[in-house]
Structure 1
Amino acid sequence: MKFLVLLALFGVAAAAVHRAVNEELTADWVAFKAKHGKTYEDAEDLTRRTIWEKNLKKIEHHNIRASLGEHTYTLGMNKYGDLTATEFVETMNGYAMADKTDKSKGLSFMTPLNIQVPASVDWRTKGYVTPNLVDCSGDEGNQGCEGGLMDQAFTYIQKVGIELEKDYPYTAEDDTCVYKKSKKAAEDTGFVDIPSGDETALVAAIASVGPISVAIDASQDSFQLYAGGVYNEPACSSTQLDHGVLAVGYGTDPTGGDYYIVKNSWSDTWGVAGYILMSRNKDNQCGIATAASYPTV
């Protein structure tokens, strides 16, 4: 009798596991793992697949609403699609909110007199993001993947220099600093801070200076799965920032409205070839103008 009871319980448990996933998506799950080089043991595979299927449903529902004009951007599956929003933030976002110390004081940005700000600017040919800051700027107060400040990173560059992204690729992991002075591509003499929360000043800086480092709230699951369009996320915080990116331009979309062109550091497999259009002139949405700065050379 006990054997029959145990057998019945095993059957119920097996059925529950079976119902936890959509068998029609098995081939798609296998293809997803193959494309992104993912391999899991049985228990972990079930966990990751369950998360992946939930994200698929989220994408589908969001995009239906987008097709009805309720959203100005779309979502899509990417290599982070088998992570929960919490796991994604802990793995990928590393900006640390902190008070600036005396050793990281910069100049204040002053909008040039008589500047004529163009309607749109695009500096996407520049590509200045590099990850050796994650591994090597600890002495300036940054904490690797646990977070840091752009101004402290600029202080590091002033002292040591920086390599190109192709020579020091981003891995989303803390690692030993392997900076090679022989491959130094640039250095700076300090940095300039944009007035906090001032989007007019940020636009003027992008137009007159070039790409500007900005910190944003990238903790929403919609950011994790962003695929295109003008990202308008009212749930974003303008003060709780967790990710550093590069504003390389701005413009206006007839459907999505004003936007910033933002270069991320998660490779071209995320977003639109590594970029996102973030809402502009929406009360500093996602805090894009809260902690903006650029290096002086």
Structure 2
Amino acid sequence: MITVECLVDQQPVKAKNQGNRPTCLAFAVTDLNRSFLDEDLGPEYFYRATLSRIPDWKPGDGLQIPAAIEASQLGHPTEREYPYQVDEPAIPLEALPDNLALHGRPINFFTADVGHLIGRVRALVPMGLALRLTVDFYRPVDGIVAFSPIALPGAMMHAVVVVGLGCDEDSQPWFLIRNSWGEAWGLDGHAWISASYIESHAACAFGVEHGSSDSR
């Protein structure tokens, strides 16, 4: 049983569904920027802006961190103004519109140190994690992803957002994450992962600087 210490979200936040596209990082980055506007930011614009910075990209390749960092400097339109698409974009990529209001702040990547992550969550600052996935990640039980030391071979990194901190009966820390696989995953799209999972399977963490609203 996990005892909740703190939650970043003051109100329940609905988990979105990326569908059959490798867009998890785009969902996580726009989720991290949600505090800058009272309306959902759309991941499609950031995803396409990142793709345009990856030489020889083709559908299914996913994103690359340097390109994502550069693209995040642009900001993000609302989901209403630039909605998410079911399918991958066609090649050649269409130019992005230049008449949209863009919001949020750039992302930065850092080491997924558990102590640092605990401090950020206690400060009510959400962060993203790039995780190697295990079989158990696909099937949380009662909202908990069981720890396994064995990651799936050849799988892409998967981005999620950390939105809470708790501890188990042995006072070991656990982190509540929001996934982008819809509300059917875990408990309404959320689940707990252990510090051991992060230590074994997190390639890196990422976040944005939070403060007052930022529009461009």
TM-score bin, normalised by smaller chain: 0.5 to 0.7
Residue type of the partner of 1:222? D
1:207 equivalent to 2:118? Answer: no
CA distance in 2, matches of 1:170, 1:214: 24
- The residue type equivalent to 1:131 in the other structure is P
Q: How does 1:162-173 map to 2 (within 5 A)?
A: 162-165=76-79, 168-169=83-84, 171=86, 173=87
Cα offset for 1:152? 3.5
1:181-235: per-residue Cα shift (whole Å, max 9, x none)? 66646232x43333x24111122223336111110012x3322222434323223
1:1-297 correspondence runs (5 A):
120-124=5-9, 125=11, 128-129=30-31, 130-132=42-44, 133-141=46-54, 145-149=60-64, 152-159=67-74, 161-165=75-79, 168-169=83-84, 171=86, 173-175=87-89, 184=101, 186-188=103-105, 190-194=106-110, 196-208=111-123, 210-218=125-133, 220-237=134-151, 242-254=157-169, 257-281=172-196, 284-287=199-202, 290-296=203-209
- Which blocks of at least 5 consecutive residues in structure 2 are unaligned? 15-29, 32-41, 211-216
Residue ranges of structure 1 left out of the alignment (5+ in a row): 1-71, 74-118
Quickly say closer, same or farther: Cα 1:204–1:250, change in 2 above 3 A: same
| TM-score in terms of structure 2 length | 0.62
Cα distance change, pair 170–285 in 1 and its aligned pair in 2 (3 A)? farther
User: Which structure has greater helix proportion?
Assistant: 1
Cα pair 1:193 1:292 within 8 Å, conserved:
yes
Relative to structure 1, is the Cα distance of residues 135 and 193 closer, same or farther in structure 2, using a 3 angstrom cutoff?
closer
Contact 1:230 1:257 in 2 (8 A): no
How many residue pairs align between the two structures?
A: 174
Structure of greater relative contact order (alpha carbons < 8 Å, 6+ residues apart)? 2
Higher radius of gyration, 1 or 2: 1
RMSD (CA atoms): 3.7
Question: Cα–Cα, structure 1 residues 236 and 246, in superposed 2: closer, same or farther, change >3 Å?
Answer: farther
Q: Please give the per-residue CA displacement for 1:33-72, whole angstroms capped at 9, x wherever unaligned.
A: xxxxxxxxxxxxxxxxxxxxxxxxxxxxxxxxxxxxxxx8
